[in-house]
Amino acid sequence: MVKNKRVYFFGSGKAEGRGLAKDILGGKGQGLAEMSSIGLPVPAGFTITVDTCRDYYRLGRVFPTGLKEEVQTNLKRLEKTTGKTFGDAQNPLLVSVRSGAARSMPGMMETILNLGLNDVSVEGLAAKTKNPRFAYDAYRRFIQMYSTTAMGLSKEPMEELLTQTKKRLGVATDPEIPAESLKELCQEYKEYYRQNKGSPFPQDAMDQLWGAIQAVFGSWEADKAVTYRRVEKITDLTGTAVNVQEMVFGNTGDQSGTGVCFTRDPSTGKNEFFGECLINAQGEDVVAGIRTPLMLSDLGKPLPTAWKELQEVRLRLEKHYRDMQDMEFTVENGKLFMLQCRVGKRTPAAAFKMAVDMVNEKLITREEAVTRITPEDIERIFYPVIAETEEKLKEAFLGEAINAVPGAASGQIMLTAEAAETARKDGKKVILVRQETSPEDVGGMHAAQGILTATGGKTSHAAVVARGWGKCCIVGAEFLRLNFERLEMEVAGRVFKQGDWLTLDGSTGRIYAGELPLKAPILPQEYQTLMGWCDQIRQLRVRTNADSPADAVKAIEMGAEGIGLCRTEHMFFEGRERQLAIQTMIVADNEPDRRAALARLLPFQRADFEGIFTAMDGKPVTIRLIDPPLHEFTPKDEEGIAELAAVVGLDKEKVRQRVDQLHEANPMLGLRGCRLCITYPEILEMQVQAIIEAAVNVQGQGKTVFPEIMIPLTMAKKEFDILEARVRAVADPIIKAANGKLHYLVGTMIEIPRAALIADQLAERAEFFSFGTNDLTQMTMGLSRDDAGRFLPAYVDPKRAAIFDRDPFQVLDQEGVGQLVEMGIAKGRKTRPNIKVGICGEHGGELESVKFCCRLGMNYVSCSPFRVPIARLAAAQYVAVAKIKEAAKKSKPANKPAKPVVAKKAVTKPSRKPAKPVVVKKAVTKSSSKPAKSKVVKKTKSTPKPAKSKVVKKTKSARNPGRKKS
């Protein structure tokens, strides 16, 4: 690529831009160049680069110097290739102008067709095609498209003029309007344009072209496009390319047609040519739904040659791209033209099947197969879905809030955690509906099928806990009115009582009345195969965050290789007896009472650990000592206080006072984590006793146990040293008494910035580090997860403050928090080179964050069971991408030797003709008449077939350009 070259020509089996990246040509431009250069039939044209768009904005919406000259040079070349002249009266060159960013991106200006028509050349087209009606219809459509799409005029008045014309003529459909009336309509349209824009409709084809180019660039910053990029988290694109291409027409008769197809079935992934087409039609007909498209396989009868060619194209493209392609084509008078090709979207099931099949077909390597899967593919393949018709869904729809955890769930509304637990025990399905949730609700949340809260965001307590379980959760449903006295919920003007049925779709955030049927997902065999490859490829270990034997079992199913975070405090919430014991400990004002209460908890914790160790036989289990501030365990209501008062034999008032005393201004930065164990060593002693006794017991049953005891919230070396010594002082005698040889580790969380800063000191005695990136993010950024909902959305919204690309609680802030992680690892390894390092925040199951962990050389990540496969994938992709790059480097010289040379040669040509552009422009304005016969083909929208449907209905991108035989 030559520096500052802005326009790349393609056509006649060649393409200047061949081998250039999508970043330069855009996806569409790259596809056209590639298809051209491998000899597929592509109408000639040229692509204006993405960088040109970027520069256009950098200059303040001004075309960069030299662009006009390059466009004119390439237009001249296009005229030479097609034998037609742009703006000519007799033999006009008509073009389509289409946008095309590096990634498929709806919302931008799509297409302007038939550009080059004006009052004179329309006559030439009419004469050439011997079809004045076709010519004026094309002109009418061009004026309308250009006025609305490119110039921003309102569409409705133009539609109204069309309707009036039909009314005046007394006809029902557009095709019935005769040529003369269309000609009049063109006049009316132009008048409408003049009145609203203050200047006549441009008759100069060159002016039309520049207007269209400007419109494409402008659409890059259109609201719809910006919103789409935000939603899809697209941050690396800098603009869109513009593709100018000779028109071809699929609606010139029975030997013409148009269609969209996929090299494999995007729904099932089967290796079957799949698509649909229309004979004598343009894409718009499909969108309008006037005619039912044919199955692709039916193309063979009317257009046998084109069908044969298309099948060859399918094979060549898939072999060339080594991935399933989504293609658009037009047949003009029996001749096939390819208008677009790109990697096709697919369902999760299809993604797995194609990836595995292509490896079996030796089309791609296992490493490549691994990169073909996205985290969303994995997530979605697990979610249950609502099995209901659109109509019934519409009926039941109550509102839409934040889709915190995907999947669908039905159940009876319960407004308190207790009610949820009771209902669950009675065998009921429950939807827990709360204003917000707190750790006290965890039992009820666990009992529920799905969780709905009126407040909170994607990182609220409800969302985080539910995500850990892969449990359907919708949060921030501010339109809910909850009445906890009357146990009622009001929404959308309807009152629901506790016990009424509700269905949640956590994937969309939609809430439905009643019990809708759900479908469980069936995991395809290819999922297992591909995940197996991931495990072979990756170096990073993947553990899970699991707090119970059930979680542990689930996590192993999901491929976990150990537990990276077992939160012991969750065990205190399970059942009233445990709750009362921990609460008794908290309100005690002396050590003996605390020890007595802890002694009651000991058997519970030991039993829990026994269950977990048994489930994780042979795998390491990292157990974090008590972490949350004590007030999280205390009773919140009068009843709870009264019950506790009775248990501890204290005055209610006294108990309330003690509970109130635990209130903290900023509990996140208060008495929690290891500060509790420094203050109340007896808590640590009970927990370590439970862990080690459980380990010894399970070991005695022939299992292999690797406990790793983790100190949370460490901030100083001496703090850790004190607690490490206490842990060993409790653990070692138990092991000795059992004549055991239990090997256990003592390590620390790194979740306070200071801990990362002094990690070299901590590593002197800490045997492992686990980065708690949730808290580390909160403290490093001064950002409370529970409170950020009020301003963080604006911070990550590109239409608002746009301060961060992503929510730092979802994707690790590599730039800031990541520095501390990197520093912590480096310092830790400096002191103890073989220190085991992992991460156990929410980020441990997020693609980019896991890759970052790979880059930093961590030993493992730990995430919630349902995210384990994503972490496995991410870790494999990290290695796979490196291997693919390595392989590409080795094979590149042999692979495409001629390409760069061709591109370079082509580039040097325009610079030799600096004076030409002016000449071209003159030529354009002079040309006139020479009518051409052809019909207009409109666009269709293309997306992969949705999971539930068997037929691909529409395609989103432009389809059409017709081409004149000449």
Task: Work out the end-to-end distance of the chain between its first and last CA atoms, rounded to an integer number of angstroms.
Answer: 33
Please say whether the dihedral angle defined by the alpha carbons of residues 278, 281, 287 and 288, taken in this order, is positive or negative. Answer: negative
Task: By CB under 8 A, name the one of 343, 596, 599, 781 that touches its own copies.
Answer: 781
Q: Which residues pair with 15 in a beta bridge?
A: 10
Minimum CB distance to its own copies smaller for 88 or for 719: 719
Secondary structure letter of residue 934 according to DSSP? -
Cβ at position 628, least distance to its own copies in Å? 12
Span 463-492, contacts to its own copies by CB under 8 A: none
Minimum CB distance to its own copies smaller for 460 or for 579: 460
Segment contacting its own copies (CB under 8 A): 183-191, 388-396, 798-806, 849-857?
A: 798-806
Cβ at position 40, least distance to its own copies in Å? 45
**Vertex 825, ends 823 and 830: CA angle to 5°?**
95
> What number of residues does the chain have?
966
Annotated catalytic residue within 261, 277, 461, 843:
461
Type of residue found at 751:
E
* Residue 514 in tokens: 């009643």
Q: Could you give the 3-state DSSP secondary structure of residue 164?
A: helix
Q: Distance between CA atoms of 246 and 149, rounded to whole angstroms?
A: 19
Segment contacting its own copies (CB under 8 A): 257-265, 384-392, 525-533, 812-820?
A: 812-820
Task: By CB under 8 A, name the one of 3, 167, 362, 718 that touches its own copies.
Answer: 718
Cβ at position 773, least distance to its own copies in Å? 13
Our finding on whether 753 is near its own copies (CB under 8 A) is yes
Task: By CB under 8 A, name the one of 397, 479, 501, 795 that touches its own copies.
Answer: 795
- 159: Cβ–Cβ under 8 A, 6 or more apart, which residues? none
Annotated catalytic residue within 341, 534, 674, 840:
840
Segment contacting its own copies (CB under 8 A): 489-497, 548-556, 814-822, 839-847?
A: 814-822
Task: By CB under 8 A, name the one of 188, 490, 500, 786 that touches its own copies.
Answer: 786
Q: What is the largest CA-CA distance in the chain?
A: 104
Minimum CB distance to its own copies smaller for 119 or for 760: 760
Closest to 515 in 3D by CA, of 539, 542, 489, 496 = 496
Minimum CB distance to its own copies smaller for 550 or for 716: 716
Span 698-717, contacts to its own copies by CB under 8 A: 713, 715-716
Q: Could you give the 3-state DSSP secondary structure of residue 248?
A: coil
Q: Distance between CA atoms of 35 and 341, rounded to whole angstroms?
A: 8
Segment contacting its own copies (CB under 8 A): 19-27, 774-782, 867-875, 895-903?
A: 774-782
Cβ at position 436, least distance to its own copies in Å? 10
Q: Distance between CA atoms of 172 and 680, rounded to whole angstroms?
A: 86
Our finding on whether 788 is near its own copies (CB under 8 A) is yes
Task: By CB under 8 A, name the one of 804, 883, 916, 954 that touches its own copies.
Answer: 804
Q: Which residue has the tokens 């002197």?
A: 764
Q: Distance between CA atoms of 482 and 470, rounded to whole angstroms?
A: 25
Q: Distance between CA atoms of 623 and 543, rounded to whole angstroms?
A: 12
Task: By CB under 8 A, name the one of 219, 258, 778, 960 that touches its own copies.
Answer: 778
Span 675-694, contacts to its own copies by CB under 8 A: 675, 678-679
Cβ at position 795, least distance to its own copies in Å? 7
Minimum CB distance to its own copies smaller for 23 or for 760: 760
Size of the site for its own copies (CB under 8 A): 48
Residue 678 C-alpha from the chain's centroid: 44
Residue 855 C-alpha from the chain's centroid: 22
Helices within 630-716 (DSSP H only): 638-648, 652-661, 674-679, 681-700
Q: Could you give the 3-state DSSP secondary structure of residue 542?
A: strand
Minimum CB distance to its own copies smaller for 157 or for 670: 670
Cβ at position 518, least distance to its own copies in Å? 34
Task: By CB under 8 A, name the one of 371, 784, 810, 831 that touches its own copies.
Answer: 784
Our finding on whether 757 is near its own copies (CB under 8 A) is yes
Neighbouring C-beta atoms of residue 938, cutoff 10 Å: 22
Minimum CB distance to its own copies smaller for 789 or for 961: 789
Cβ at position 650, least distance to its own copies in Å? 20
Minimum CB distance to its own copies smaller for 563 or for 683: 683
The H or E element containing residue 185 is helix 179-197
Closest to 591 in 3D by CA, of 521, 705, 683 = 683
Minimum CB distance to its own copies smaller for 726 or for 964: 726
Residue 278 C-alpha from the chain's centroid: 33
Our finding on whether 170 is near its own copies (CB under 8 A) is no
Type of residue found at 881:
V
Minimum CB distance to its own copies smaller for 12 or for 679: 679
Our finding on whether 787 is near its own copies (CB under 8 A) is yes
User: HSE on the CB side for 329, CA within 13 Å?
Assistant: 35
Segment contacting its own copies (CB under 8 A): 68-76, 284-292, 726-734, 791-799?
A: 791-799
Q: Could you give the 3-state DSSP secondary structure of residue 7?
A: strand
Segment contacting its own copies (CB under 8 A): 201-209, 335-343, 410-418, 780-788?
A: 780-788
Cβ at position 240, least distance to its own copies in Å? 24
Our finding on whether 825 is near its own copies (CB under 8 A) is no
Cβ at position 676, least distance to its own copies in Å? 8
Burial 377-402 (b: 16+ CB within 10 A, else e): bbbbbbbbbbebeeeebeebebeebb
* Spatial contact of 507 and 383, defined as CB atoms under 8 Å apart: yes
Q: From start to end of 291-436, where are the E strands?
A: 294-295, 325-332, 335-343, 385-386, 397-400, 402-405, 408-414, 430-434
Minimum CB distance to its own copies smaller for 284 or for 440: 440
Q: Which residue has the tokens 């039909």?
A: 166
Segment contacting its own copies (CB under 8 A): 194-202, 365-373, 779-787, 911-919?
A: 779-787
Cβ at position 98, least distance to its own copies in Å? 33
Cβ at position 441, least distance to its own copies in Å? 15
* Residue 590 in tokens: 């002396």
Please say whether the dihedral angle defined by the alpha carbons of residues 564, 568, 573 and 575, taken in this order, is positive or negative. Answer: positive
Closest to 234 in 3D by CA, of 383, 27, 472 = 27
Minimum CB distance to its own copies smaller for 169 or for 794: 794
Span 41-100, contacts to its own copies by CB under 8 A: none
Q: Distance between CA atoms of 751 and 839, rounded to whole angstroms?
A: 10
Cβ at position 680, least distance to its own copies in Å? 10
* Spatial contact of 773 and 779, defined as CB atoms under 8 Å apart: no
Cβ at position 483, least distance to its own copies in Å? 15
Our finding on whether 856 is near its own copies (CB under 8 A) is no
The contact mask relative to its own copies for 649-678 (x = CB under 8 A, - = no) is ---------------xxxxxxxx---x--x
* Spatial contact of 616 and 556, defined as CB atoms under 8 Å apart: yes
* Residue 510 in tokens: 């939609």
Q: Distance between CA atoms of 648 and 585, rounded to whole angstroms?
A: 9
Minimum CB distance to its own copies smaller for 785 or for 872: 785
Type of residue found at 721:
D
840 is catalytic: yes
Task: By CB under 8 A, name the one of 801, 882, 887, 918 that touches its own copies.
Answer: 801
Enzyme catalytic residues: 461, 840
Judged by the rule CB under 8 A, the positions of this chain that interact with its own copies are: 664-671, 675, 678-679, 713, 715-716, 718-719, 722, 751-754, 757-758, 775, 778-784, 786-788, 790-791, 794-795, 801-804, 813, 815-817, 819-820
